[in-house]
């Protein structure tokens, strides 16, 4: 079973920041938070991951609370192409445990 809880859907106006929350209250000390997204008719695509510190890359920013029980993925300037299902996954950083996906959040970016 997925160890995360996400809202089923969200809307965001084009050009605005999209903030996608994720609860992972049972996260273990050695587990990372990973974010993937799945655009319609494509396979999931890695976005970003983090352990404790906030992270930023060219796609998004990841804010992890100090107690690590929740996190937020931020798309700073959402575009129509960011419309997708976003999955938050917790897992150890290496090792052969398969990724376990939940249902994710369906983000709709509206013009």
Partner 1 sequence: GAGVSQTPSNKVTEKGKYVELRCDPISGHTALYWYRQSLGQGPEFLIYFQGTGAADDSGLPNDRFFAVRPEGSVSTLKIQRTERGDSAVYLCASSLTPMTGPQGYTFGSGTRLTVV
Backbone phi, psi, residue 57, to 5°: -140, -170
Task: Give the nearest distance from C-beta 54 to partner 1 in angstroms.
Answer: 16
Kindly identify the residues of this chain, within the stretch 49-78, that bind partner 1 according to CB under 8 A: 49
User: Is residue 87 at the binding interface for partner 1, with CB under 8 A as the rule?
Assistant: yes
- Binding test (CB under 8 A) with partner 1, winner from 2, 10, 59, 63: 2
User: Is residue 34 at the binding interface for partner 1, with CB under 8 A as the rule?
Assistant: yes
Which of these segments, 10-18, 20-28, 65-73, 88-96, binds partner 1 (CB under 8 A)? 88-96
Question: Which run of H or of E encompasses 37?
Answer: strand 31-38
Contact of 91 with 102, CB cutoff 8 Å: no
CA-CA distance, 19 to 99, in Å (whole number)?
23
How many residues sit close enough to partner 1 to count as binding (CB under 8 A)?
A: 26
CA distance readout (Å), 36 to 47, 67, 96, 111: 5, 22, 18, 23
Task: Give the nearest distance from C-beta 104 to partner 1 in angstroms.
Answer: 6
Neighbours of 32 (CB within 10 A): 16
Per CB under 8 A, residues contacting partner 1 are 2, 32, 34, 36, 41-46, 49, 85, 87, 89, 91, 93-96, 98-104
């Amino acid at each position: 079973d997925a160890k995360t809880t996400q809202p089923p859907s969200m809307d965001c106006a084009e050009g605005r920041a999209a903030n996608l929350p994720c609860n992972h209250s049972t996260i273990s000390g050695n587990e990372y938070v990973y974010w993937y997204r799945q655009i319609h008719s494509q396979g999931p695509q890695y976005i970003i991951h983090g352990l404790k510190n906030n992270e930023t890359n060219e796609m998004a920013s990841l804010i992890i609370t100090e107690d690590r029980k929740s996190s937020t993925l931020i798309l700073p300037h959402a575009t129509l192409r960011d419309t997708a299902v976003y999955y938050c996954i917790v897992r150890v950083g290496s090792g052969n445990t398969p990724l376990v996906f939940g249902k994710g959040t369906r983000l709709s970016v509206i013009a």
